[in-house]
Chain A
Amino acid sequence: MAALMLRWSCLGKRWVLACIDGGSRHGRGAAIGLTSRRKRGQSSVAQQPLIAVQKSRKGEREWAAVVGLEIHAQISSNSKLFSGSQVHFAAPPNSLVSFFDASLPGTLPVLNRRCVEAAVMTGLALNCRINKKSLFDRKHYFYADLPAGYQITQQRLPIAVNGCLAYSVSVGKKPSQVSTRTVRIKQIQLEQDSGKSLHDEPRSQTLIDLNRAGVGLLEVVLEPDMSCGEEAASAVRELQLILQALGTSQANMAEGQLRVDANISVHHPGEPLGVRTEVKNLNSARFLAKAIDFEIKRQIHELENGRKILNETRSFDDKLGCTMPMRDKEGKQDYRFMPEPNLPPLLLYDTASLPPGADPQQVINIDWIRERLPELPGKTREKLIQQYGMLPEHSFTLLNEVGLLEFFQNVIKETRAEPKKVTSWVLNIFLGFLKQQNLAVNESPVTPSALAELLNLLDRKAISSSAARQVFEELWRSKGKTPSQIVSEKKLELMQDQEALERVCHTVMEGHPQVVMDMKRGNPRAINKLIGLVRKATLSRADPTVIKEILERKLSS
């Protein structure tokens, strides 16, 4: 179990959570307002997490927060979980709806093979035990976007259980200070998505679009092993990367393909866990951490003022930056789970138990799927570290930014420069420019080829470091020009003529005898002044190290 460092500081009478912020690594997802839903997730098993909390300076009793997550990922498939209508993000309302999705009488569910494979792949990637037999159930509640009045899910016996997910959090101000944590995965289950409701308040009605009704979802339940917003956000980010690497879900929060509900409670270490609240529909990576941290603070505030925490469902208002109780809350929900009578148990096999002569289309072999699992993000990072000698935190940044890894690899392919140089340029300069102008990698005006060419010039010592930066800026500003063009236009080439350089040095030394005397006396700053003068004389086209070498040689002669 991972140890945790939470630093609580007290500003006056208010507790402030200082869970060290690792910076904005998360994508620029916009929060799309999916309407509030009354779906209450399963209760996570309450366990005593091992948390070390530092005492505050005022010596008051410290608080520990406990965060569990229920993550719904839309399965990337052509058709829906139980029907043959299409899965697609934007389409005319109710055009991707079959009779089964509209819950017309006489229709029956037919399980999509691809969704089962996606669930098995995800379970294997998250180190779960795959249940060779799993069952489908009905979860009943009434809401206009759930035409059948129930959702088909896997409550009793889900397809995968007992896994773990490793993720990384910053534990200090320096980027190199990262620590690996794990969170246990309680289960992964297959379930149906509901339709979309658009509330039309002025006309007192709700408009229902069933295009999304019946789309396959993977619900991943994370045990309450996390203790702050940043940990939760990092865990979700890692899960996103894994799902995207597997291809089981595009996991794009902005498009609603990944939705997170958080279960949050606070308690004093050593005491039993507190009452938990559920914060629903956190649909943006940016607001996930904010919402969780706000709720933790709110609960502490309430408890410290002698009030009680209600076991309720809340939603996060990103404009106000706070959680609010959801409307339509009518007390505890009773979902009246019952077995889905129209679906037999789902049986999976491995190579040993595969029935001979079975139709390959009708059986799923777990071993076959395991052998064909794509490379997971953890492995990709390891390879980057080994192959290119980069630091772990660099590998994290490369994978965290969408498209950056591909960009990096394309540059490496086309350049002769050292990988460390490429890493430094991509992560510091290139990424810096992107962030400054809030652009995604695929919106970059600089192509991998252009950067590769620039690094080649630098590697050949055709230009100096500072000149390279100038060229990069120019590349960013004006599309279409190659680095070589810019170099010749701006006359940034390094002087290759050694003799000419020596003559310039000689001239400068003659012109500034005082500085030369300072140099002879051993004043270290004198030589820098001379280097500066020579550089000016050569219009910055000389390599400072070469200048220094020449000056020192002349001095000693």
Chain B
Amino acid sequence: MWARAVKLGLRSWVGWRRGFTSKADPQRSGRVTAEVIEHLERLALVDFGSQEAVARLEKAIAFADRLRAVDTDGVEPMESVLEDRCLYLRSDNVVEGNCAEELLQNAHRVVEEYFVAPPGMCSPKWLNRLSLSELRI
């Protein structure tokens, strides 16, 4: 079951890579297309504002690609360093909570005892609208 899941994962990852290398400029392999950038920006709410950022991404992917030099045939993949650990089971008692005031202190805006968020889906447009101070960077 693991092996199959990983194979599927690998296949889709390989397909993804193959996907954009095939759209690549034959002169420069490993280019990341604008479509992929848009998709990533939406999914991860990151801002690939500049060509420099895209270039850095391509370099990072090329760096990780070196993993393929390792022969992993017949080796079961490890998904977590915790795979041999015991999963601790907690008994069903109420021991936390009741700290609304403390938690709400972290919020930029609060209405009565609710956190306030902008309406609708989180999108890069919205993210870019916020100033750096609002993001607490």
Contacts and interface: CB of A to CB of B under 8 A. Distances in A.
Given A79-B95, A97-B100, A328 B86 contact: no
Contacts of B91: 113-114, 361
A40 B84 CA distance: 32
Contacts of B92: 77-79, 112-115
Interface residues of A, number: 62
Interface in A130-145: 135, 140, 142-144
Contacts of A38: 121
A362 interface: yes
Contacts of A85: 94, 96-97
Nearest to B88: A110
B82 interface: yes
B14 to A, nearest CB: 16
Q: Chain A binding site: helix, strand, loop or mixed by DSSP? A: loop
B52 interface: no
A345 B100 contact: no
Interface stretch (A8-16, A18-26, A206-214): A206-214
Nearest to A92: B113
B103 to A, nearest CB: 5
Given A111-B88, A341-B82, A362-B86, A204 B93 contact: no
B114 A339 contact: no
A343 B114 contact: no
B80 interface: yes
Contacts of B119: 199-201, 204-206
A334 interface: yes
Given A94-B103, A97-B97, A341-B82, A362 B43 contact: no
Nearest to B116: A205
Q: Chain B binding site: helix, strand, loop or mixed by DSSP? A: loop
Contact of A343 (B87, B96, B116): B87
Nearest to B8: A156
Nearest to B107: A208
Contacts of A201: 119
Contacts of B45: 142
Nearest to B103: A102
A207 B119 CA distance: 9
B99 interface: yes
Interface string A352-363: 000000000110
Interface string B53-85: 000000000000000000000000001101111
30 contacts: A38-B121, A84-B93, A84-B96, A85-B94, A92-B100, A92-B113, A93-B100, A93-B113, A93-B114, A94-B103, A94-B104, A95-B113, A97-B97, A98-B96, A99-B96, A102-B103, A110-B88, A111-B88, A111-B89, A142-B121, A205-B111, A207-B117, A209-B115, A327-B120, A328-B120, A334-B39, A341-B80, A343-B87, A345-B83, A361-B91
